[in-house]
């Protein structure tokens, strides 16, 4: 099983960070692998909201990375699952208010099956890189 986790403290109120991350259309701001992203469902963003994403894939090819929010607890946690693309991990953002800062932890997990098991080390490395992009949220929101 592939697993990655990264945490960062951001000098902003928890609600501001939570809303920034919840809105998947902001992914192209802080995740360099995302070319395009669009909210696909009507209404407020929360449980069941789907976002379509086009991402940089291996060998310069574009890949789909559409995802759906599987749960959301305001200012505390966002969970999602990737619903298209070659790897379909699930992920969580956990928010902890710590006075003047907010601790944000981004985790991804994926259990490959079939031939994908052979790619587990590569998938794990990519997930490590993706979670580490959380530092870009800090840079963006604190600038």
Alpha carbon 4 to its chain centroid, in Å, reads 11
pLDDT band at 60 (very low <50, low <70, confident <90, very high): confident
Interval 61-110: pLDDT, tens: 899 999 999 999 999 999 999 999 888 999 999 999 988 899 999 999 99
* CA–CA dist 127, 110 (Å, integer): 9
Q: Beta strands of 20-60 (E only): which ranges?
A: 34-39, 50-56
Whole-model pTM above 0.85?
Answer: yes
Strand, coil or helix: 27: helix
User: What are the chain's domains?
Assistant: 2-142 (3.30.530.20)
Residue 66: the pLDDT is: 97
DSSP codes joined into one string, 79-127: EEEE-SSS---EEEEEEEEETTEEEEEEEEEE---GGGGGGHHHHHHHH
């Amino acid at each position: 099983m592939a697993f990655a986790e990264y945490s960062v403290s951001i000098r902003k109120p928890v609600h501001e960070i939570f809303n920034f991350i919840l809105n998947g259309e902001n992914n192209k701001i802080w995740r360099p692998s995302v070319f395009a992203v669009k909210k696909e469902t009507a209404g407020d963003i929360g449980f069941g909201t789907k976002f379509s994403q086009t991402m940089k894939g291996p060998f310069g090819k574009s890949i789909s990375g559409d995802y759906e929010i599987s749960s959301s607890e305001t200012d505390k946690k966002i969970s999602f699952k990737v619903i298209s693309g070659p790897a379909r991990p699930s992920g969580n953002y956990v928010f902890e208010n710590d006075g003047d800062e907010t601790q944000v932890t981004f985790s991804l997990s994926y259990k490959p099956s079939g031939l994908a098991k052979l790619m587990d080390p590569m998938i794990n490395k990519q997930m490590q890189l993706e979670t580490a992009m959380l530092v870009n949220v800090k840079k963006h929101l604190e600038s």
